[in-house]
Every structure is written in C-alpha cells, then in structure tokens.
A and B are shown apart, each in its own frame.
Chain A
Amino acid sequence: MDFNDTAVEATFREEVRTWLSANIPTSDELKGLDYIGRAKLWQKRKYDAGWACIRWPKEHGGRDASAIDQVIWNQEESNFDTPDSVFGIGHGMCAPTMMAWATDEQNKNYIPKLASGEDVWCQLFSEPAGGSDLAALRTRAEKDGDDWIINGQKIWTSGAHYSDYGVLVLRTDPTAPKHQGLTYFFIDMKSAGIEVKPIRQISGGANFNEVYFTDVRVSDAQRLGAVGQGWQVALTTLMNERASIGGGGGGVNFDSVFDLATRVNIDDAPAIKDKNVRAQLATWYAQESGLKFNGYRSMTALSRGEIPGPENSIGKLVGAPKQQDMASFALDLLESGGAIWDPELSDAAGMFQATYMASPGLRIAGGTDEIMANIIAERVLGLPQDIRVDKGIPFNEVPTSNS
C-alpha cells in the first residue's frame, strides 16, 4: 500500500498543475463579472486549452481522459481558488444523457457548447407530487402534430433562472402504470410559456426554482428515447450523478470545529480540554477519515482500471447529517453567541450559523437520508424492494395526496 501516483499519473498531475498555475483567472479578469460570468470565463479558458470535461470524447469537446485522470484533475483544481461552477448538472447529468440517447447531429450541436460553458443546462425532474417517488410526476405532454404541448409544474430546479436548456421527464400516458407512461425531452428554457419562480429557502438563499409550464411547445425531434421510455432515459441521468471521489466538502468540518474548540472556553479552560468535546470530535474525525479513505479505495480501483466498489455510496448519508450535527455542536460551543448570525459579529463570519441553516437541505437534495439508506439496503446489501401498492395500476387510478 502507498499513496503515490503511478508514473503515468504523476506526469499527468504535473501537467495539470502546471497548466492550472499559469491559467487561474486573476481578480482583475474577474472584476465586474457576476458569478455566472465568472464561471463562464473559467470554463471557456479550460475548453480552449483542452481541459474542459476531460472524460468526454474529443469530438464532444473533451479529452478522452480516464476516470483516474478526472479524479486527479478535480484534486488539483480544488487546490486553487477558481470561480464556482454553474455547470455541474449540465456536465454531470444532462450531457451524459444526451450522449447516450440524442442523435449525432444533436450532440454535435449541443455538447461542445456545454463543454465550453456557452450554454448552461438544468434538470427538470422533481414535482410537487413527485420527490422521492420521482416517477409519480404529473406534468403532462400531449402530442400536437410534430410537437408536444406541455402543461404542469416542476420544482427544486437548480439554476433554472440562468439555464439555456433543460432536460425533463413528462407524463405522456396517464392511463399506463406509473413508470411506463413517461417520456423524456430536452427543451429550450426560453420557450414561450415557461415561467421560473425562485424558492426562498430557510437558509435565506434561493438556489432552487419552481418552473411552470403553460402550453409550452416542444418539438418531437427533442424527444430522447421512445415515447413511454422516459423512465429508462431518466435512469441514465440519475446514474450519472457525479461521483464525489477525491473531493473535499466545504463548510463545517472537523478542522473548523476543532479550531473553534481552542478559541472558546468551558469552565474557564479551552473547550478542547473538555472530555465530552474531545469524545464528540474524535467520532467526527473518525467519520471524516473513513470517508476520505473510502475515496482512496475507490481511486485505487480506478487507477487499476476497475470499477469502484459500493463503499462510495455512503458519502452523502454520512456527510450530510454530520455537517448538521457539527454545525449544531459549534453553535452550542458558542453558547449565547451561537445565536448571532451576522458576518461582522459572528465567530468565523457566520459560517457555523450558515451551515446550520443550510444543512437540512443537504440531507434532502439528491435523495433524502431515507432514500439513500434504501439504495444501500437494496443495491449494496441486496435486500428486497418495498412492496409497492401502485405497481401495475394505471397512473390515473393511483391514490394521491390531492396536493
């Protein structure tokens, strides 16, 4: 066992590092740009030099790089201060689905603009009546000549307000059983009849949107897969949720709470001397360490050209509640000061308070804790699925919550 790159990997890492060192946008270059402009500038620079979406085929704007190369790239890029990306969903989920299901012509038109950052894409899956039970979505599409007419509502759509295109799953046959009546499309987000309304979160931010569709027209040519095959196409998207191998999470972590415990007192001594604080911190350290070395095991598999084992499936289920608990613990350590959420007055400029308020969302986005536990139980441990009372029943006869 060792933590070293192979010779080929080391050469690649050096190449990446050299390029990054010379090409990170300067503050002058970024001045006056909003976060979307900054993200686009950085993405275009990578694209022009052949460093965008490196796993993709060259003809789609990528580099034909291996999975381990991607991990190395991510690690190196994360060592630099780069603009936040707005392309995660487009690159990680929409593009792989397009490459798997769209025509060559379509891919030639759309994919390079995704790679270069010219276009931003979003994913319109969740609905008020279809969250964890995604296939229960109800937004309708009805055939009208060579077009489909869309009516209904999507929700929790990240980035809908600045996206150029979106992928979406629609119900085309309400009389078929749940999974069989769905069809998958991609759509121009500037189409007439689309209305985007931001959702204000308990954290105060508004990263998500409601997206309303009123008689929105989409060409049948923008259908991916056959009519009624939408669930299968959607699974391609969901399977491509980016593996977070090698990436470190921001916000509250062991280091930040450990440091806090050296700054605040319990019984007139630094909190880090308190046995309960030490015990709690040790448990979190062990969890963080376990996740990190899970990542190393997955990287080893990639480095050997193998597929990583299931150990990486636990990341979100461990990481999200841990962030919440650590933020809560940090506020407690701050005692009455923990209630202050003000960049000027709060400890660490309010990071602990911000994480406390944002962390409930982490436990829901991309699959709730319960859904993640189901996935581990079913796909990793091989336990049976829940019995589904809506199985085989026409969708329009399935009981609903009448929301």
Chain B
Amino acid sequence: MNFEFSEEQNMLREQAQGFLASNCSMAVVRRVLDGDEPYDADLWKKVAEMGWTATVIPEEYEGLGLSYLELSVIAEELGRALAPIPFSSSVYLATEAILAAGSEEQKQAYLPGLAAGTSIGCFALGESSGQTSAASLTTKADSSSITGVKIPVADGDIANFAIVVATSDKGDGASLYIVDLDQDGVSRESITTIDPSRSHAKLTLNAAGAQLLGNDGEGWSYVQSILNRAAVLFAWEQVGGCDTALNMAKEYAMGRFAFGRPIATYQAIKHKLANIYVKNTLARSNCYYGAWAISTDADELPIAAATARVSAIQAYYYASKENVQTHGGMGFTWEFDCQFPYRRSKLLATNIGSEATWQDKLITAIEKQRAA
C-alpha cells in the first residue's frame, strides 16, 4: 500500500506553501476583490515562471511532463491561498480540453503558450441559469464561425481564447470549438459574481471565427471527461480552502473570550470545529482517490472524480459557513477575511456543476460499473 504523496511531491508542497505565503496573503485576495484588476497579473506571472501552468503538459509542447499528483499538490495550495488567478480555467479546463481533443497542430499552437502562462484559456459551457446539457445548448457553429451567448464564463474577460461547447446535429449533440477572444465577432462583458476575487464574463459570439476541437458530435463526451478531470483538481482546491476556513475559525476561537474564557473551551464551538475537521478529512481522503485515478487514467475515474467533488463541495460549504458563525458578528463584516472562503466555496461549487449534479453523476457511474 502506497497511498501517499512522494517525498519529492511533499517538497513541492513546501515550496508552494512558502511561495504563496509570501506572494498570496489574504491581503492580495482582498485587493483583487475590492479593486478593479480582474486578477493578480503579477502573481500569475510568477506562478507561470515557476512552471505550475506547465505541470502536466508534455515536454514536446514545452511543458514539464509531470503527473497529476504534482498538479494536485499545486491545486491544494492554490486553494488554500484562495489565489485570485485564472489557474483553474486555464490549467484544469482549457489545457485539459486541448490535451484531450486537440489535433497535433492545435497542440503545437496552444500548449506552449498555456505552459508558459503567456496565453490564458477559459472554458465556456453554461448559457443561462440551470443545468446545461447537450440538448439545452443554443450556441451554434458552422464550418468556421460560431454564434451564441455564454454566461457565466470564468476568466472570460481576461482569457486569450475559449473552449466553447456548441450544439451539433451529429453524434452526442455537441462539439467543441476553440475561439480566439481578441476578434471582432466576440464581445465580452465582465459580470459581477458572488466572488469578485475571481473574474467572470459574459461572452457574446457573433459569427466569430472558430476552429473545431476534436470530432464533430463528440463534444459532450469530451465535456464529461474534461469535467471529470477538472473535478478532481477543483476538489483539491476546495480541500485546501477547507483548511484555511478551519484554521481561521480555530485561531479566532482560541483568542476570543466570552463569559471569562476562550470560546474554544465551549463544546458548541469545539464540536463545530471537530465536524469541520471530519468533513475536511473525508473530502481529502477522497481527493487522494481522485488523484490516484486521474494520474493512472483508471477506469474508476468517473466514480473517483464525483466522489471527491461531492465531498469537497459539502466540506467547503460547511467549513466556510461555520467559520463565519464562529467569528460571530465580526465574521459578517467586510473587514474580516471570513467572507473569502464563504464566497469561494460557493463559486467552486457551482463553477463546474453543482453538488446535486455530481451526486447524480456519481450514482450513474456506480450503476454503470455494476452493469458492466
């Protein structure tokens, strides 16, 4: 049994923690949340210089050719720091889409830029409120152009290109397209979300130039596989955030006195924090499973991904909301940092499909496994 990160991976974790402690404090998150900059461009540059954006991209495309275990370590630390950068959009989604479905030419064209962080990708799936399916898509493409509205698109306002999911009359009813966002047929508006430390946009595509990514009519199947992989990495970000919320709550409870003693001595608070720890621990162990599945391309990936995703959503929501409550009234103020994990937990929970969506996917994957 070797169900643990290696010594080298743990060293990478220490480096990442050290780097983020000095470059991505909560003050940085606050600055982006309060200010006009959509993301911390300086942090993004440094993260790219360290090669994090290149982690799993093969060396032939100027990546580092490392495994998803290394990327899991980085994801957890970025989640812990609540880093206000487009890492999930560019690395977990756009890079994965091109790796999964790209032609050799497309890989040559896009992966080196993604690896270097000079090009930012985003993933444009949803079109309105409610669950998106192949049948619900209205964005439509012909051989070279695409028309439709995508909202919300994480990092759509800052990305260089988008992976756009459009309807298709072939196969599974959907196809993927690469759309460069700096062109006349594209207009993008920044939109306000519950977590302004991560920027989002509405993309309006009006006969915009587009190139097919992968086979026409296999888009929905690509989406499932991209989301399964992204779910594991999102889940790592979520458990990193869970730890942050728990530590905030713990530190405050130890220092805050009421009725003559620290509130951390009251069982109502102790049990709240113990329950946070329990949920975080379950989620973390499921993330190990997800990391194993994604790094070995295991048949169980759909189950492992959904399991990690469901428990990470539940854990982060619980940790972040109870962290606010542990702080009492101060937790509700703009001045305190409790708002950041609370915002981020729900953003990450909705970004690539909700808890209910993934619960259903999990049972579907289990049914499939049993039928096989």
Contacts and interface: CB of A to CB of B under 8 A. Distances in A.
B356 to A, nearest CB: 6
B22 interface: no
Given A2-B2, A286-B310, A374-B274, 10 more contacts: A1-B288, A9-B1, A68-B1, A311-B285, A318-B282, A370-B271, A374-B271, A380-B274, A380-B277, A383-B265
A384 B1 contact: no
Contacts of B367: 272
Contacts of A281: 363
A290 B285 contact: yes
B265 A385 contact: yes
A1 B250 CA distance: 32
A200 interface: no
A126 interface: no
A376 B274 contact: yes
A4, A279, A299, A381: residue with the most chain B Cβ atoms closer than 10 Å: A381
B12 to A, nearest CB: 15
Interface string A252-292: 00000010000000000000100100110111011101111
B163 interface: no
A9 B2 CA distance: 12
24 contacts: A1-B3, A1-B288, A258-B366, A275-B356, A279-B356, A282-B360, A286-B286, A286-B307, A286-B311, A289-B307, A290-B311, A292-B285, A296-B288, A297-B285, A297-B288, A311-B284, A314-B281, A374-B270, A376-B277, A377-B270, A377-B271, A378-B270, A381-B277, A386-B265
A4 to B, nearest CB: 7
B261 interface: yes
A293 B286 CA distance: 7
Size range of the chain B interface in the assembly: 35 or more
Interface string B59-82: 000000000010000000000000
A381 B274 contact: yes
Contact of B310 (A258, A282, A314, A387): A282
Nearest to B276: A381
A68 B306 CA distance: 30
A300 interface: yes
A374 B268 CA distance: 10
A123 interface: no
Given A282-B359, A370-B267, A374-B267, A1 B282 contact: no
Contact of B3 (A3, A279, A370, A380): A3
Interface in A123-155: none
B153 interface: no
B362 interface: yes
B265 A279 contact: no
B1 A4 contact: yes
A383 B254 contact: yes
Interface centre among B274, B278, B291, B311 (most CB of A within 10 A): B274
Interface residues of A, number: 49
A285 B267 contact: no
Contacts of A290: 281-283, 285-286, 311
Contact of A1 (B4, B264, B271, B311): B4
Interface string A218-250: 000000000000000000000000000000000
Interface of B: 1-5, 69, 246, 250, 253-254, 261-262, 264-265, 267, 269-271, 273-275, 277-278, 281-286, 288-289, 291-292, 295-296, 306-307, 310-311, 314, 355-356, 358-360, 362-363, 366-367
A297 B5 CA distance: 10
A351 interface: no
Interface of A: 1-5, 9, 68, 258, 272, 275, 278-279, 281-283, 285-287, 289-294, 296-297, 299-301, 303-304, 311, 314, 317-318, 370, 373-374, 376-378, 380-387
Nearest to B358: A282
B3 A300 contact: yes
Contacts of B307: 285-286, 289
Nearest to B288: A293
A283 B278 contact: no
B265 A384 contact: yes
A377 B274 contact: yes
> Among B270, B288, B295, which residue has the most Cβ atoms of chain A within 10 A?
B270
Contacts of B4: 1, 297, 300-301, 304
A373 B1 contact: no
Nearest to B275: A373
A5 B250 CA distance: 38
What 9 pairs across the A-B complex have the smallest Cβ distances?
A290-B282, A282-B359, A377-B270, A293-B285, A296-B3, A376-B274, A373-B274, A286-B311, A278-B363
B363 A383 contact: no
A300 B1 contact: yes
Contacts of B262: 384
Contacts of B292: 1-3
A95 B225 CA distance: 53
Contact of B362 (A285, A303, A382, A386): A285
B277 A314 contact: yes
A304 B6 CA distance: 12
Contacts of B278: 314, 317-318, 376
B310 A381 contact: no
Nearest to A304: B4
Nearest to A312: B281
Contacts of A381: 246, 250, 273-274, 277
Contacts of B314: 283, 286
Given A283-B310, A373-B275, A275 B360 contact: yes
Nearest to A68: B1
B270 A291 contact: no
A37 B253 CA distance: 54
